[in-house]
């Protein structure tokens, strides 16, 4: 009997970490599936001895991006009205009018928003996207690939990329079941649903409730609670090297304890370099009192700016920068791809640091998986780069409402409090870590290290239904 062929659609590089660099592929083989990556990234997966089919033309219809962006704005407005909650306006970003092309696209988008902001109008926008994509060469080539390969299912690694629309539609038009994983814990309130599949894999019962709330056309029977492979690596101790080897590789001082400062991208945190400096100042103060501390700075993988350079130079006695091992294959930010080596690097960075300081990221869960605390920056700097940016907006985002108690993280409410907060973070077995563990259990299915296994179980169920 022929093995069932599973197409794992990689529309962009973000799925590499979860599905190419985890145990997902090997688990599929163990389940007697023929696993094939339908690869739209620039990364050569055959170099990792994976079966792949390259997508060579992923050009969407010229109008699809306009409809996609209009859809997101309409959804945010409808979320706002239905939930009576202004927080959804915080997810909107200003439009660019720097070129004639961008100006025309934004005018068309706003016209669509004006004429289609209703449940019926939103439905028309969704149908228009499908109509446009079915007219593309990309769609036709996707049909040809699927007709030739005859997979039992097309599983898309995340719901956000426009480049996933055509292949998913082609599969559905051929009667092939489709599924996707909701990529991140904050995606659903942000109106990032771009593709519409037959089935959805979500992180948790909480995310399942969100999916049903924000997208009423999705039925409960279409949803599988699987967790995410994002955190699986933290439970694989084989990836860890000795403390001595890690310190030697990165020129660290064995006599010091290190905290990690995890950087944000420039949009999320335009003043991140100042927060890093404030943290370095606090560490210097602590060292003057007899401590022996340092900072490992892990920048955001897609931030290649020089905004940290002065801080890194001024505090080189305190800060050691260990850059993520991502590979820049093309020119755009979306061509900066994760590597398998970076998973090991992140794991060992966490294992060899005492805690993490960060502005509101999911690193809290990476660290609590190692039973370590996270401190969230919670103040605005004096001379902000962007006047209307504020941490107050960041922590109002919907995904932070899943925090069971406010002490799931340590809150840095001022530069002057950083030293005290770091001292608290160095204490193990604290209430903060226990609260963070409860938060982790809310946002992803237990046990977190079995997410890939649960995704394969869901795929088996879907195939058996079809």
| Residue 426 DSSP label | T
Structure tokens at 217: 């056309």
219 lies in the same domain as 347:
no
Q: Which of these three, 132, 155, 175, is where a domain ends?
A: 132
The per-residue pLDDT for 331 is 60
Q: Which of 446, 314, 433 is nearest to 375 (CA)?
A: 433
439-457 mean pLDDT:
97
357-369 mean pLDDT:
96
The per-residue pLDDT for 304 is 85
Q: Tell me the backbone φ, ψ of residue 215, rounded to 5 degrees.
A: -130, 80
181 lies in the same domain as 318:
no
Q: Which of 264, 348, 257 is nearest to 294 (CA)?
A: 257
pLDDT tens digits, 147-163: 999 999 999 999 999 99
| β 327-328/336-337 pair status | antiparallel
pTM of the complete model: 0.95
What CA–CA distance (Å, rounded) separates 198 from 462?
9
The per-residue pLDDT for 384 is 87
What CA–CA distance (Å, rounded) separates 30 from 457?
12
Domain tally, the chain: 3
Q: Which of these three, 102, 132, 162, is where a domain ends?
A: 132
What CA–CA distance (Å, rounded) separates 268 from 386?
11
Task: State the CATH number of the domain containing residue 42.
Answer: 3.40.50.2000
pLDDT of 34 over the 60 cut: yes
298 lies in the same domain as 376:
yes
What CA–CA distance (Å, rounded) separates 284 from 295?
10
Contact 179, 198 (CB under 8 A): yes
240 lies in the same domain as 223:
no
378 lies in the same domain as 299:
yes
pLDDT tier, 96 (very low <50, low <70, confident <90, very high otherwise): confident
What CA–CA distance (Å, rounded) separates 183 from 211?
12
The per-residue pLDDT for 330 is 64
Question: Residues 6 or more apart from 320 whose CB is under 8 A from it?
Answer: 250, 251, 252, 258, 294, 295, 296, 297
The per-residue pLDDT for 95 is 80
Mean pLDDT value across the chain? 95
With H, G, I as helix, E, B as strand and everything else as coil, classify residue 316: coil
165 lies in the same domain as 193:
yes
Where is pLDDT greater, at 93 or 191?
Answer: 191
The per-residue pLDDT for 302 is 85
Q: Which domain holds residue 96?
A: 64-132
What CA–CA distance (Å, rounded) separates 143 from 105?
29
Contact 153, 462 (CB under 8 A): yes
Q: Which of these three, 132, 167, 185, is where a domain ends?
A: 132
Of 25-39, 41-55, 409-423, 440-454, give the lowest mean pLDDT range. 41-55
pLDDT tens digits, 296-342: 999 998 888 899 999 999 999 999 999 999 887 766 555 678 889 99
239 lies in the same domain as 350:
yes
55 lies in the same domain as 72:
no
How much of the chain, in percent, has pLDDT values that exceed 90? 87
For the packed helices 272-288 and 418-425, what is the interaxial angle rounded to 10 degrees? Answer: 70
pLDDT of 382 over the 80 cut: yes
What CA–CA distance (Å, rounded) separates 98 from 1?
58
pLDDT of 1 over the 60 cut: no
223 lies in the same domain as 238:
no
168 lies in the same domain as 35:
yes
203 lies in the same domain as 258:
no
5-10 mean pLDDT:
98
30 lies in the same domain as 72:
no
Contact 297, 261 (CB under 8 A): yes
Residue 147's Cβ-count burial label (10 Å; 0-12, 13-18, 19+) is exposed
The per-residue pLDDT for 13 is 87
The per-residue pLDDT for 466 is 67
What CA–CA distance (Å, rounded) separates 391 from 118?
32
Strands (E), 142-254: 153-156, 178-181, 199-202, 223-225
137-147 mean pLDDT:
98
């Amino acid at each position: 009997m022929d093995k069932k062929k599973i197409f794992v659609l990689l529309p962009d590089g973000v799925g590499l970490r979860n599905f190419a660099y985890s145990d997902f592929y090997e688990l599929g083989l163990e389940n007697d599936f023929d696993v094939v990556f339908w690869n739209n990234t620039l990364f050569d997966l055959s170099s990792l001895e994976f079966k792949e089919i390259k997508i060579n033309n992923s050009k969407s219809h010229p109008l699809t991006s306009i409809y996609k962006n209009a859809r997101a704005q309409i959804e945010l407005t409808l979320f706002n009205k239905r939930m009576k909650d202004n927080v959804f306006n915080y997810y909107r970003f200003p439009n660019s009018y720097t070129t004639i092309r961008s100006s025309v696209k934004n005018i068309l988008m706003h016209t669509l928003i004006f004429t289609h902001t209703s449940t019926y109008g939103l439905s028309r926008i969704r149908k228009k996207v499908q109509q446009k994509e079915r007219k593309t060469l990309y769609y036709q080539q996707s049909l040809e690939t699927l007709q030739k390969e005859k997979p039992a299912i097309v599983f898309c690694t995340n719901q956000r990329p426009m480049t996933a629309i055509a292949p998913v539609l082609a599969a559905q038009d051929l009667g092939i079941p489709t599924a996707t994983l909701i990529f991140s814990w904050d995606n659903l309130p942000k109106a990032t649903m771009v593709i519409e599949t037959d089935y959805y894999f979500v992180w948790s019962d909480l995310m399942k409730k969100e999916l049903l709330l924000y997208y009423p056309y999705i039925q409960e029977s279409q949803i599988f609670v699987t967790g995410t492979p994002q955190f699986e690596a933290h439970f694989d101790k084989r990836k860890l090297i000795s403390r001595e080897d890690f310190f030697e590789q990165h020129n660290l001082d064995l006599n010091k304890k290190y905290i990690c400062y995890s950087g944000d991208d420039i949009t999320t945190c335009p003043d991140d370099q100042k927060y890093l400096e404030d943290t370095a100042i606090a560490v210097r103060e602590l060292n003057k009192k007899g401590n022996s501390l340092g900072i490992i700075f892990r920048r955001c993988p897609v931030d290649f700016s020089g905004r940290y350079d002065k801080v890194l130079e001024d505090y080189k006695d305190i800060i050691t920068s260990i850059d993520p091992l991502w590979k820049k294959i093309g020119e755009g930010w979306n061509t900066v791809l994760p590597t398998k080596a970076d998973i090991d690097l992140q794991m060992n960075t966490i294992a060899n640091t005492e805690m993490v300081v960060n502005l509101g990221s999911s690193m809290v869960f990476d660290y609590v998986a190692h039973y370590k605390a996270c401190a969230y920056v919670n103040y605005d700097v004096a001379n902000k780069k962007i006047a209307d940016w504020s941490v107050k907006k960041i922590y109002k985002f919907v995904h932070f409402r899943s925090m069971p108690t406010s002490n799931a993280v340590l809150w840095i409410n001022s530069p002057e409090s950083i030293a005290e907060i770091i001292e608290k973070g160095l204490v193990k077995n604290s209430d903060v870590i226990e609260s963070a563990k409860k938060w982790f259990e809310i946002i992803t299915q237990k046990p977190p290290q079995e997410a890939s296994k649960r995704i394969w179980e869901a795929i088996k169920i879907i195939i058996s239904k079809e």
